[in-house]
A and B are shown apart, each in its own frame.
Chain A
C-alpha cells in the first residue's frame, strides 16, 4: 500500500532554514508529482507547490517563491521541501502528498510540525 513517511518535528530560530523529507513506498516515486501543503494551528490548508520527481521540475505558489526549494532523491524514493528565512508565522504542520494523476492529492504524509521560535 502507498505510504508517505515524513521526518520528525523541528524547532528553528527565526531566519534559519528547515528541510523536511518525505519517503515514499508502495509506488514508484517518479510516477506521480509530489505536493507540499502546510497548515498553521487551527487554520486551513495552504498549497506550497509541487515537484515532478521524474524531471525535477517544480512549481511553487507565488507566496513562497524565493524561499522554498523542492527536491528529490529518486535512489531512495524521497522528496524534500526546504523553507528558508523562517519567520514565526511559518510555524505549521507541513504535509507532503502524492498526486492522483491530476491536480489533487490521494495520499498524504503524517505531517511534520515545524516550530519557529526565538
Chain B
C-alpha cells in the first residue's frame, strides 16, 4: 500500500488551533473508521493520541481531536502549547489485516 499523504509541516502560535490532514483512498481512510494519530517527540517512541477517528485514550488532553470526511482524516490541536511541538503521524486500517502510516507532519509552535 502507498503511504497516506500528510503535509510535511504545520505551525501555530501558542493558544491557537492547528489542523493536520491525512489523505488516503477508499481502500484505507475512506473505507474504515480506523484512523489513529500518534505524537512523536525527538528520540522518543510514538504515543497514541487518537484512535478510531475521534476517540481519545485516557490521559490525552481534550485539546486533541480527530475527524474524518471522505478519504481525508484530520487532527486538530486547540490551545497550542509548547509541548505540542512534535511530529504527528496518522495511520489507517487498509484492509486484509494491514495498516498504513502517513509520512508525518512536523508541528512547530511559534
Contact = CB atoms under 8 A, between A and B. Distances in A.
Nearest to B50: A104
Find the residue from A44, A104, A109, A111 having the highest chain B CB count within 10 A. Answer: A104
Contacts of A16: none
Closest 9 CB pairs between A and B?
A104-B36, A108-B45, A103-B93, A59-B97, A44-B104, A47-B99, A45-B101, A104-B51, A44-B103
Contacts of A59: 96-98
Interface string B70-96: 000000000000000000010111001
Contacts of A37: 46, 101
Interface residues of B, number: 26
Q: Give the secondary structure class of A's interface.
A: strand
Contact of A100 (B3, B45, B57, B103): B57
B18 interface: no
A112 to B, nearest CB: 11
B4 to A, nearest CB: 10
B30 interface: no
30 contacts: A35-B99, A37-B46, A44-B3, A45-B40, A45-B46, A45-B89, A45-B101, A45-B104, A47-B98, A47-B100, A59-B97, A59-B98, A62-B1, A100-B48, A100-B51, A100-B57, A102-B51, A102-B52, A102-B93, A103-B36, A103-B91, A103-B92, A104-B99, A105-B38, A105-B48, A106-B51, A107-B48, A108-B45, A108-B47, A110-B45
